[in-house]
Structure 1
Amino acid sequence: MTYQILLVEDEKWVRTALRKVIEKIKLPFTVVHESTNGMEAWKWLEHSRADIVLTDIRMPVMDGLTLLKQIRNKGKATDIIIVSGHDEFAYAQQAVRLGAFDYFLKPVDAEDMTECFRNWLQRQEPGTAATKVQQDGDQHIRPPVDQVIHYIESQQRYDLMLAEAAALVHLNPSYFCKLFKQQKGVTFTDYMTSVRMREAVRLLEHTTLRITEIADRLGFTDAAYFSNTFKREAGTSPSEYRKRLHPA
């Protein structure tokens, strides 16, 4: 099965570049129509269908966010992926809140598009399009970054990697990384390190688990790397920290 994409972009050379990237990644997607603005795209959607609308934000006549709102308000069973420039990051956040599936920065990287489309394919399950649209709306009630943090805390996923975290909220890793840093003031990697270290302290203080067992529980494949990380963050090694708590 080949999934259909409506490409919406006012600059012809950008449309051509996006089409070439879509062809290059060799996934079951094809551009079935191109529009130069949101109004053209909406008129086409009134009588035709697309699985994905890949749209720029800033366009004449009707911009990408207005098109997104129109699609959502009319209950069209299609996902929206936003493409725009680096200076429009705030618009990306608004697009996510409105239910956009993902967001790309220009120039679009083939690797990021591949990751996004694979996530989209994995999410496709038997069921009506209406159900899928409802699920899309539900998943954005909680902001994406907070969704991931809630998941980490509730599931105790101390080994969660950036790519997996981004996939949980259907964002490409580069955008999720920028969004996380902007909203929380630290990188996702640094945040995960702090979460792991807090749990390490708790386990050292309240359990008799060996250092290797604690490292394994926190997702470290190497106990020495865990000890070095703990010492860098806490100023002392795990074993020294425990000895200070329970001196002989």
Structure 2
Amino acid sequence: MTRSPYSVLVVEDERWVRVVLREVLRETGLPFQIVQECTNGLEALDWLQGNTTDIVLADVKMPVMDGVSFIEQLAGLTNSPSVVFISGYDDFQAARKALRCGVIDYLMKPVEAEELAETLGKWMKEQERKKETDRSTAALCTEEGHGEIMERVLRLIHERPGHVSLAGIAAQVHMNASYLSQYFKQHTGRNFTDYVAGLRLEEAKMLVARTSLRISEIAERLGYSDIAYFSSTFKKTTGKSPLDFRRQEQVLRH
């Protein structure tokens, strides 16, 4: 029986490098298939909101959102994929940050089929080991019901915090909105509205600090129709306007 190939997301701003990676991946002869190509970290995060992949091949230096910022944001996803960094620069600091964030390998361009095959081969063996562990403990993971519902509610909220509503989530989990509101506070200790507002603020801080998007674009992404209201809310919580917050973060990072 032929095994389905593992899915691969390529995140690289240079088209010719993406073409080369497709060929190098084919040369490895391993069961991996590229399912999507993105040109920067933010574009990849957007794609991952509605899709999944087994592994990511990501460049370090990219516009809008670089590889390091991208990997730092992956931790918030429900099923975070494994990441291999690919770089044209021998950047020790970036490599150290990458390994701290859980990147499985750091390869230099031009990537050779042999070294990519070695990295992916080790990853495949680790996946098989995890599957064996999961099978041996499956009997311990049979609890269903309310826990599953809350897990789904939280997953739906985290996928698009700027575009969720109590009524919308309630419809997706087939619950009465009023009951869901009480149920949510009982299980999280927080009001639904306050919880979502907190997530939106964290997303806003990330986009302001880690991307080159205009403040108006960030406000729109997070569901704010009024940029002045967004800026006021941001400053009330962080103590700084979005632009001042961005300048501060740029200084701290350099």
TM-score (ref. length: structure 2): 0.49
Query: So what's the TM-score if we normalise by structure 1?
Result: 0.50
Larger radius of gyration between Structure 1 and Structure 2: 1
